[in-house]
């Protein structure tokens, strides 16, 4: 293990704007817009800590590094560079809100709406170099 340096990176941007307008002393309207963006790259192979982890000759597939190896009951051997699953997320959220306030004597009425559109693109690169699985051997060696 510890043959490959792994890294995770995330970033988030948030923007909001609001405009409030008094049409009359008894009628006020507030409109808000918002945008959120998040990008995540989780569990990426950064570089080989052990030079063998970047050797393409050890791969199960052409031009890939060593595959993961799982022997029943033992720890997972992560394989070469790019061998562990990597998860990529790109999320956007657009929001709009509109609130109106009406005053009539001692009463105040508030009404409005809210809308949000969310877009998510998630990519999972699971076991890109392959995985070799062996059951635990039983009996005398």
Rounded average pLDDT over 110-119:
97
Q: Looking at the predicted structure, is the pLDDT value of residue 4 above 90?
A: no
Give the pLDDT confidence score for residue 86 in this predicted structure.
87
Which is higher by pLDDT, 19 or 128?
Answer: 19
Q: Which of 111, 115, 89 is nearest to 102 (CA)?
A: 111
Distances (CA, A) of 81 to 42, 61, 70: 14, 13, 17
pLDDT tens-digit readout, 18-64: 999 999 999 999 999 999 999 999 888 888 888 888 887 787 877 78
pLDDT tens-digit readout, 63-94: 788 888 877 777 777 778 888 888 999 999 99
Q: Looking at the predicted structure, is the pLDDT value of residue 140 above 60?
A: no
Which is higher by pLDDT, 58 or 117?
Answer: 117
């Amino acid at each position: 293990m510890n043959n490959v340096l792994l890294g995770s990176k995330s970033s988030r941007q948030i923007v909001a704007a609001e405009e409030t307008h008094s049409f009359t002393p008894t009628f006020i309207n507030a409109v808000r817009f918002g945008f959120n963006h998040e990008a995540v790259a989780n569990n990426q192979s950064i570089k080989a800590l052990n030079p063998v982890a970047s050797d393409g000759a050890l791969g199960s597939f052409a031009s890939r590094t060593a595959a993961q190896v799982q022997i029943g009951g033992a720890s997972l051997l992560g394989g070469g560079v790019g061998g562990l699953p990597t998860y990529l997320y790109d999320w956007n959220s657009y929001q709009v809100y509109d609130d109106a306030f009406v005053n009539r004597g001692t009463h105040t009425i508030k009404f409005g709406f809210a809308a949000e559109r969310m877009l998510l693109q998630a990519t999972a690169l699971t076991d890109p170099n392959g995985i070799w699985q062996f059951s635990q051997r039983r009996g005398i060696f």
